[in-house]
């Protein structure tokens, strides 16, 4: 069924099925991080356990658009594996994969005889960072390839602004080091006083205590002011350079206006969830200061908050958290250190304005649908994770012909897989949910979609996006 979406104008069958002189339509599915070896994005080999690719082809066929999911690429002599990328959690891997995707699409177009006048039409369905790979591919497309629809499932959109965070982090480390040193001297002074009142230890006590007070009262605020002025200077110097080199605020892909133009003024569909654990981790990585304020600081009594504001707020908010953000973005987002030193990144919040404007990126919140699929998993989901585990001949040979040991190993794997199936992470539910599949089908075959019909009441603002 096509759930809450109503089909108003289907794609002409000739576009989906091809024909002499007719442009072809390819629907390609691009996997996300660490998912290169997974099965869900490729056609399956068992009709009883269809993959997401099989289910999408079945849904499109039911709407009169058959033979688009991978079929044109296979006809051109390629396989879905040719569209795979390393899946590494690395900025360089995603950028390189975007270029390779554009090259692969052009190869398909050339082999099918597409031209600039009759280009290969492409629907791209991407999960997680695969969406950023697709956005990056838009920068390298040739005229014989035209992206018709772009659907992003749980993709973390990332934007940036110039910031000398390396300076803030350096100041934070300096302040931390100074305080540790002063505290150590303070302890030596206290120990000296308790053991005999040695003048040297007493002087250390007075000196270290005074140093701590001066540093917290004057040092932190002074350093924050200095770092803020340095940020403004860095932004002023970088702005003309960015304009000349045509750098954009979006980390991946061309500017939003160019994305809109590449899609024929059609919006990108971003399917997301408030409880997507991967997205939450990345949001935390770009906003630990805000989270600390709401979950910790606001629970303190007013007297403690006043002391913290005067003595420690600059250090906590404007130096220490910048250091934390840099580390989290380096390892959670896979960004190189030099980018973390010179830029402030955030996972774009489409509802609060960013370089991914709502007029170009249509956000639909499917939190409720994913939660419902957690409670009512479908029988088809057994095909998503991988083949059924058993002690086959290859596994037996791996253990030198010892079938008993192979059976034991297969049993351990099976138990591990069963336990893993019970932990149903929401980030991998986008392609498992039948309702999300209906939503994707509506986007691919409908000229206009009533987004409000897909947004559960009280669960976000997809209708406004």
Q: What is the pTM of this model?
A: 0.78
Give the relative orientation of helices 288-295 and 321-332 as an angle to the nearest 10 degrees.
Answer: 120
From the list 431, 417, 419, the residue with the least C-alpha distance to 388 is: 417
341 touches 187 (CB < 8 A): no
Cα separations (Å) of 140 from 87, 155, 184, 424? 20, 20, 57, 36
Residue 388: band (very low, low, confident or very high) from pLDDT cuts 50, 70, 90 = very low
342 touches 151 (CB < 8 A): no
Per residue in 392-443, pLDDT (tens digit) is 566 666 666 677 777 777 777 777 766 666 666 788 889 988 889 999 999 9
Per residue in 104-163, pLDDT (tens digit) is 999 999 999 999 999 999 999 999 999 999 999 999 999 999 999 999 999 999 988 888
Per residue in 180-191, pLDDT (tens digit) is 776 676 676 666
Cα–Cα distance measured from residue 222 to residue 416, given in angstroms and rounded to the nearest whole number: 54
Q: Beta strands 361-365 and 268-272: pairing type?
A: parallel
426 touches 275 (CB < 8 A): yes
> What residues contact residue 463 under an 8 Å CB cut-off, 6+ apart?
451, 452, 455
From the list 336, 317, 316, the residue with the least C-alpha distance to 326 is: 336
The strand ranges marked E within 371-463 are: none
């Amino acid at each position: 069924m096509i759930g809450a979406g109503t089909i108003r104008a289907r794609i002409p069958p000739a576009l989906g099925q091809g024909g002499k002189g007719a442009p072809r339509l390819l629907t390609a599915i691009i996997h996300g991080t660490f998912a290169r070896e997974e099965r869900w994005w490729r056609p399956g080999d068992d009709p009883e356990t269809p993959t997401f690719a099989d289910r999408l082809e079945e849904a499109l066929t039911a709407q009169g658009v058959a033979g688009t999911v991978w079929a044109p690429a296979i006809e051109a002599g390629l396989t879905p594996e040719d569209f795979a990328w390393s899946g590494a959690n690395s900025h360089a891997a995603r950028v390189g994969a975007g270029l390779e995707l554009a090259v692969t699409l052009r190869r398909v177009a050339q082999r099918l005889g597409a031209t600039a006048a009759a280009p290969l039409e492409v629907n791209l369905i991407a999960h997680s960072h695969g969406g950023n790979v697709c956005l990056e591919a838009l920068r390298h497309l040739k005229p014989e390839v035209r992206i018709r629809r772009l659907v992003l499932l749980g993709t973390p959109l990332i934007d940036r602004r110039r910031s000398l965070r390396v300076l803030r982090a350096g100041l934070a480390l300096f302040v931390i080091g100074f305080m540790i040193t002063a505290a150590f001297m303070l302890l030596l002074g206290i120990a000296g006083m308790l053991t005999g009142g040695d003048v040297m230890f007493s002087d250390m006590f007075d000196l270290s205590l005074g140093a701590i007070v001066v540093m917290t009262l004057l040092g932190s605020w002074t350093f924050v002011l200095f770092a803020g002025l340095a940020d403004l200077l860095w932004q002023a110097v970088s702005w003309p350079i960015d304009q000349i080199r045509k750098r954009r605020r979006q980390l991946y892909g061309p500017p939003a206006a160019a994305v809109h133009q590449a899609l024929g003024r059609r919006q990108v569909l971003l399917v997301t969830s408030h409880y997507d654990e991967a997205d939450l981790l990345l949001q935390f990585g770009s906003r630990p200061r805000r989270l600390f304020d709401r979950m910790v600081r606001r629970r303190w009594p007013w007297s403690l908050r006043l002391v913290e504001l005067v003595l420690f707020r600059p250090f906590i908010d404007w130096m220490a958290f910048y250091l934390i953000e840099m580390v989290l973005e380096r390892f959670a987002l896979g960004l190189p250190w030099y980018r973390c030193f010179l830029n402030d990144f955030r996972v774009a919040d489409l509802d609060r304005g960013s370089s991914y404007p709502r007029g170009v990126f249509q956000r639909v919140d499917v939190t409720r649908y994913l939660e419902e699929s957690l409670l009512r998993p479908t029988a088809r989901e057994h095909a998503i994770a991988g083949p059924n585990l058993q002690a086959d001949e290859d596994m037996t040979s791996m253990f030198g012909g010892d079938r008993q040991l192979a059976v034991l190993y297969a049993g351990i794997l099976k138990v591990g897989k069963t336990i893993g199936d019970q932990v149903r992470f929401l980030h991998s539910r986008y392609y498992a949910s039948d309702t999300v599949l209906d939503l994707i089908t509506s986007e691919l075959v409908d000229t206009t979609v009533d987004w409000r019909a897909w947004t559960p009441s009280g669960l976000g603002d997809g209708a406004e996006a």
